[in-house]
Amino acid sequence: MAGKLYIVPTPVGNLDDMTPRAIEVLKAVDTVLAEDTRTSGVLLKHFGIGTPMRSHHKFNEHEAVASVVKQLTDGAVMALISDAGTPGISDPGFLLSRECRRQGIEVETLPGATAFVPALVNSGLPCDRFVFEGFLPQKKGRATRLEELKSQPLTMVFYESPVRLLKTLQQFVEAFGADREASVVREISKLHNTTHNGTLGELVEHFTAVEPRGEIVIVVAGAPPTAAVKVDKYAAFKGKNARV
């Protein structure tokens, strides 16, 4: 009988965001697949979880999937966690989840912490509909993607590192315009959690003067609707048939 894979979110900052159910699952499974066993070791120790861990990260994910699926097929019950947040959201997890589905192995994802949802809601920008872009390509394809997003009408959500934040905001100014509303949220749920709202131009000025630190989520307003051009059909007809 096939086993089961649990995908378990872990806190993005504040350990109090860990749910009782997540702790219960991590204690009960046979193995915890962890993005970084050292980082996850601290978390598991904090909650008194002694389950054996196994490394599962973006550098070994393609090779590891087959052996993990084989164990699950043989009846193992495993949990997948990342360093912070929900696996599969800009973290390893998609490949394993997809292969489990293909092989008929049950997958259950627990609800829990993720960085972009509180950042989106906290931004004050429309969040009834939005697009999650995650990390943009660092080099190849970056300019092309920004060009494609220029006319995106929905609120856009990006992840970024502090060392690239200022450059990314400057590129956003070039692509979207300095007057586009945006929000930069850093260190969600941690001690130094801050939100900076303003136009992209204002945010560039702020982070030019203040060095950014911590994990970053950028929320950018969608493109404003194009003003409809009202055409006076009768006037156009008159103009077309006017004598010169």
Please tell me the distance from the alpha carbon of residue 126 to that of residue 91, in angstroms, as a whole number.
26
Structural domains counted in the chain: 2
103 domain-assigned: yes
97 domain-assigned: yes
Question: What pLDDT score does 198 carry?
Answer: 97
- Residue 243: pLDDT over 50: no
Q: Which residue in 178, 134, 185, 181 sits closest to 162, CA to CA?
A: 185
- Residue 199: pLDDT over 70: yes
- Residue 207: pLDDT over 80: yes
Instruction: Please state, rounded to an integer, the average pLDDT across all residues of the chain.
Output: 90
Question: What pLDDT score does 79 carry?
Answer: 98
- In a shared domain, residues 83 and 165: no
58 domain-assigned: yes
The 10 Å Cβ neighbour count of residue 94 is 12
- Determine the average pLDDT of the residues in 123-136: 96
- In a shared domain, residues 77 and 164: no
Please give the residue range of the domain that contains residue 181. 116-220
Helix (H) or strand (E) holding 240, with range, is helix 233-241
Helix (H) or strand (E) holding 1, with range, is none
Residues in the chain: 244
Q: What is the CATH number of the domain that holds 35?
A: 3.40.1010.10
- In a shared domain, residues 122 and 104: no
Asked whether 1 and 76 are in contact (CB, 8 A), the reply is no
Q: pLDDT (tens digit, 9 = 90+) per residue, 14-68? A: 999 999 999 999 999 999 999 999 999 999 999 999 999 999 987 887 888 999 9
13 domain-assigned: yes
242 domain-assigned: no
In Å, how far are 3, 99, 170, 201, 230 from 148, measured between CA atoms?
42, 31, 17, 21, 27
- Determine the average pLDDT of the residues in 86-111: 94
Q: pLDDT (tens digit, 9 = 90+) per residue, 138-172? A: 888 999 999 999 999 999 999 999 999 999 999 99
In Å, how far are 24, 40, 47 from 145, measured between CA atoms?
41, 34, 42
Crossing angle of helices 162-176 and 200-209, rounded to 10°: 150
pTM of the model: 0.85
Q: What is the CATH number of the domain that holds 169?
A: 3.30.950.10
Q: Which residue in 166, 132, 171, 164 sits closest to 150, CA to CA?
A: 171
